[in-house]
Structure 1
Amino acid sequence: MANPPTADTVLARLRAEGLHVVEVGNWRTHNRNHRGAWGPVHGVMIHHTVTRGTDRTVAICRDGDEELPGPLCHGVIAKDGTVYLVGYGRANHAGLGDDDVLRAVIAERKPPAADEANTDGNRHFYGFECENLGDGHDPWPKEQVEAIVRASAALCRHHGWGARSVLRHRDWQPGKIDPRGPGLEWDDILDRIAERLKHPASWSPGQARTYTVRSGDTLWSIAASQLGDGNRWREIAALNHLQDPDDLSVGQTLKLPAK
């Protein structure tokens, strides 16, 4: 059984994953717990908001309206990749969904097509609403997609879940279409979450690797020790714009290509 951690633990997990997180008001105690249980939790659900503008989106997701009171999620993922925490506990984000889908998420299998609405998703899922018009045309910037990957991985890492513990609203509830739009390839997102979970939370794919030159180093020896192939010394020379490959100095920082 996966019990939700403390709000402070979730905040720490998100930040450890390299996310820029903004705390909105009394988010730690803003919830719908008086309307029902929250937990055990079994997965992370991703939505789009059908809104434009970060401030407006965050306000709507925090407060909701008379028909659907807030919070409408736990976190809002803005276009620039910032995560705004708006609530913690039971949130009005998932509604009723398919019990077969829940069983698949628990088993970390690909979910079947949702064709029933018989199970309380607000109890069992974390929810992230992502700022997007949801019209199939509004693009998903790479910063926002990366934040989806990292936020999902942060919670999966905490609970020891795999990438199949992350699903879309459309996977859960019949008739839903979110999230969708150009730049959001779901299989790619799941692959990236799975890859991320193989590394420490601080891992940043594509982050420049560097090497500090020590006494006796040559480009060949550096390529052999750092890249596994001395013949790749030319890549290091080109990456660092070295006119003379023998002109190295102790303490010099060199950029390294990917392994």
Structure 2
Amino acid sequence: MATPLSADRLLAALRAEGVKVVEHDGWRTHNRNQAGPWGPVSGVMIHHTVSSGTASSVELCFDGYAGLPGPLCHGVIAKDGSVHLVGNGRANHAGGGDPSVLQAVITETYGDRPPTPRAHQGSAGAVDGNTRFYGFECVNLGDGNDPWPAAQLDAVERVSAALCRAHGWGAKSVIGHLEWSDWKSDPRGFGMPGMRDRVQKRLGAAPSKTPSGATSPARPSTPRYQPFPGTSFFRKNPSSPIVTAMGRRLMAEGCSAYTVGPSPRWGEADRRSYAKWQRKLGFHGSDADGWPGPASWNALKVPYCG
């Protein structure tokens, strides 16, 4: 869970990932915050608009319709790969969903797919997704026949990666609406497991500002990072080069509580340093207790120790 990005930070994160952003007039203050809380945020939700045409789809998502006022998302992803920002704050896009799915997204502990949702807007026990998810509507009829151009799918990947990178999440924080509510079928026409694979691959590399299909100078090979060893690893007070490498990264991020520098043995100074890192990422309370979790660990990018 994390504090939502400000308008400036959201825009910067998208542009840093190479997203072609179009700012709709008024998007920075357009929200439904009067209807309920916005945040803490836990992930990104992808939808399809059941409409055609960029201009009309953007207008629909900005204004909403009778019974469901806009914004209906935070951004509209057009078929040409451009992303039109229409809201900043709470948006009417997710509705009620399954609490087990929310927990799986927060912990990023599921396999190819989150648990099958068994809740929807208005059902007993449903949780408010408008509080917890960024939402992006993709221009598509949702009939299974309307194509998904490569540029549009590339934009879905980049938008998702941008927000995951900004919050220190992994790709399992990105879900489709159909994975949230048992009433929904969007996005239809591509699979979310495959999209999460694309997002995770992108998160393993430095941000690329070159849209799909364009050429760019050759880059050095992607550095290898230490996989998350699990919270239980640290609770056993290990002595490991992983702990030293982690401590060095925490110091580099300005999150040191060390007096003499990190050592292989996990200790209280490591936990306090890691808590500073979690707070830097926007975690609060028990989510910033200093015990590493997968999202904050992936964001730290600890060099591979062999």
- Which range, TM-score by smaller chain? 0.7 to 0.9
- Partner of 2:66, secondary structure, is coil
User: Is 1:113 the counterpart of 2:121 in the alignment?
Assistant: no
2:195 pairs with one of 189, 200, 208: 189
User: Is 1:49 the counterpart of 2:49 in the alignment?
Assistant: yes
Q: Deviations over 1:80-104 (max 9, x none)?
A: 0000000000000000000000000
The aligned counterpart of 2:96 is 96
- Partner of 1:150, secondary structure, is helix
Q: Deviations over 1:134-181 (max 9, x none)?
A: 001101000000000000000000000000000000000112100012
Structure 1 length-normalised TM: 0.78
Query: C-alpha displacement at 1:5, in angstroms?
Result: 1.6
Structure 2 length-normalised TM: 0.66
Structure whose alpha-carbon radius of gyration is higher: 1
Counterparts of 2:88 and 2:23 in 1: how far apart (Å)? Answer: 11
User: Is 1:157 the counterpart of 2:165 in the alignment?
Assistant: yes
- Partner of 2:69, secondary structure, is coil
Contact 2:171–2:199 at 8 Å: present in 1 too? yes
Query: C-alpha displacement at 1:202, in angstroms?
Result: 2.4
Contact 2:16–2:209 at 8 Å: present in 1 too? no
Contact 1:94–1:121 at 8 Å: present in 2 too? yes
Aligned length: 211
Counterpart amino acid of 2:197? D
Query: C-alpha displacement at 1:116, in angstroms?
Result: 1.6
Mapping for residues 57-76 of structure 1, pairs under 5 Å: 57-76=57-76
Query: C-alpha displacement at 1:185, in angstroms?
Result: 3.3
Query: C-alpha displacement at 1:11, in angstroms?
Result: 0.4
Q: Deviations over 1:191-234 (max 9, x none)?
A: 110010011112657744459xxxxxxxxxxxxx99xxxxxxxx
Change in Cα spacing, 1:192 to 1:29, as seen in structure 2 (3 Å) is same
Mapping for residues 181-220 of structure 1, pairs under 5 Å: 181=189, 184-202=190-208, 204=210, 207-209=215-217
Unaligned runs of 5+ residues in structure 1 are 212-224, 227-259
User: Is 1:81 the counterpart of 2:71 in the alignment?
Assistant: no
Counterpart amino acid of 2:115? P
Contact 2:13–2:166 at 8 Å: present in 1 too? yes
Query: C-alpha displacement at 1:133, in angstroms?
Result: 0.1
Counterpart amino acid of 1:89? G
Mapping for residues 230-245 of structure 1, pairs under 5 Å: none
Mapping for residues 118-129 of structure 1, pairs under 5 Å: 118-129=126-137
- Partner of 2:134, secondary structure, is strand
- Partner of 2:162, secondary structure, is helix
Identity %: 58
Counterpart amino acid of 2:85? L
